[in-house]
């Protein structure tokens, strides 16, 4: 709701800056004519919207609104079209498996996931910059051509990562036919298929991360029950052993390195 309110506010500000509003003042009833006839003229209100520079300024205003809308949606685009989703979910599963509550905090996990995303997506971003942004800056291609060319590296990345089963599911739900070239699919089909695949991959990796820590919980719980200490929570005793195992195995290195390798196809 806050994002929607911010977007509406920006749109209103753009309209205020580019549109001039003129209101017709209230007309007071005349004294002579009105008194003789007995009729009192009702007040009239007028409201009109005029642009200061014609159609060119109106087109510029629409372009500004579109740019601000893209800026507002940039975080969602970063999350949905890149490796950010899988990385962040795996990091959260790691913290939950360690049972360390808020250590590392969310800011650290999000920052780490963001920089790992830039590392994984660096070749894709470089290709977008070379093929779309720089030619558009030089004026050799139009905005429509820049969008079509710039989307292709992102689409290729998503097609390399998604599961064919998810793609077929989206095609079936949308009653669309399969294409010979996967690059011919629309983003409306590719993006949800990619997100479904990312969620599945992240949860599979999270399950594998949980297994050794569950074994530690079971061993600690069995030892406490054999000692008759059933009132002592097993997680209180098992957490130091989890942290010790994670440090001795160089857990962060193992998780991050193998997580990045999952994006190599």
Dump pLDDT digits (tens) for 167-210.
888 888 887 887 778 788 888 888 889 999 999 999 999 999 99
- Spell out the long-range contacts of 120-128 with Cβ–Cβ below 8 A and sequence spacing 24 or more: 120/82, 120/83, 120/87, 120/260, 120/263, 121/82, 121/83, 121/157, 124/153, 124/154, 124/156, 124/157, 127/153, 128/153, 128/154
pTM above 0.75, yes or no: no
Q: Is the model's pLDDT at 103 over the cut of 90?
A: no
Summarize the confidence of residues 159-164 as an average pLDDT.
Answer: 86
- The β-bridge relationship of strands 46-51 and 19-24 is antiparallel
- Residue 90 clears pLDDT 90, i.e. is over it: yes
In this prediction, residue 204 carries a pLDDT of 93
CB-hemisphere CA count at 13 Å for 223? Answer: 10
Q: Give me the sign of the Cα torsion angle 247, 236, 106, 262.
A: positive
* 216-261 pLDDT, tens digit each: 888 888 887 887 777 777 777 788 888 888 888 888 988 999 899 8
3-class SS at 9? helix
The CA-CA-CA angle for residues 8, 14, 18, to 5°, reads 150
Q: Please give the residue that has the higher pLDDT: either 106 or 62.
A: 106
**Average pLDDT over every residue of 106-114:** 91
What pLDDT is attached to residue 57? 56
pLDDT in tens, 31-87: 444 444 444 444 443 434 444 444 455 566 777 887 787 778 777 777 888 889 999
Q: What integer pLDDT is reported at residue 87 of this predicted model?
A: 92
Q: What is the predicted pLDDT for the residue at 35?
A: 40
Q: What is the mean pLDDT of residues 84-113?
A: 89
């Amino acid at each position: 709701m806050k994002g929607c309110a911010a977007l509406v506010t920006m749109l209103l500000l753009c309209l205020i800056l580019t549109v001039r509003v003129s209101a017709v003042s209230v007309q007071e009833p005349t004294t002579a004519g009105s008194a003789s006839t007995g009729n009192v003229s009702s007040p009239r209100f007028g409201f009109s919207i005029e642009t200061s520079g014609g159609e060119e300024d109106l087109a510029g205003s629409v372009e500004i609104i579109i740019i601000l809308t893209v800026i507002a949606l940039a975080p969602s685009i970063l999350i949905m079209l890149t490796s950010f989703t899988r990385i962040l979910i795996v990091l959260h599963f790691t913290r939950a498996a360690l049972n360390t509550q808020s250590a590392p905090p969310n800011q650290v996990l999000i920052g780490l996931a963001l920089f790992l995303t830039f590392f994984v997506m660096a070749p894709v971003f470089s290709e977008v910059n070379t093929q779309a942004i720089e030619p558009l800056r030089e004026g050799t291609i139009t905005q429509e051509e820049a969008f079509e060319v710039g989307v292709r590296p992102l689409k290729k990345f998503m097609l390399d990562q998604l599961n064919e089963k998810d793609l077929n599911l989206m095609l079936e739900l949308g009653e669309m036919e399969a294409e010979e070239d996967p690059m011919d699919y629309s983003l409306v089909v590719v993006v949800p298929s990619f997100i479904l695949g990312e969620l599945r991959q992240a949860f599979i990796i999270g399950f594998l991360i949980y297994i050794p820590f569950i074994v530690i919980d079971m061993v600690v719980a069995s030892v406490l029950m054999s000692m008759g200490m059933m009132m002592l929570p097993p997680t209180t005793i098992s957490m130091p052993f989890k942290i010790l195992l994670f440090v001795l195995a160089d857990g962060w290195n193992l998780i991050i390195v193998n997580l990045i390798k999952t994006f190599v196809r």
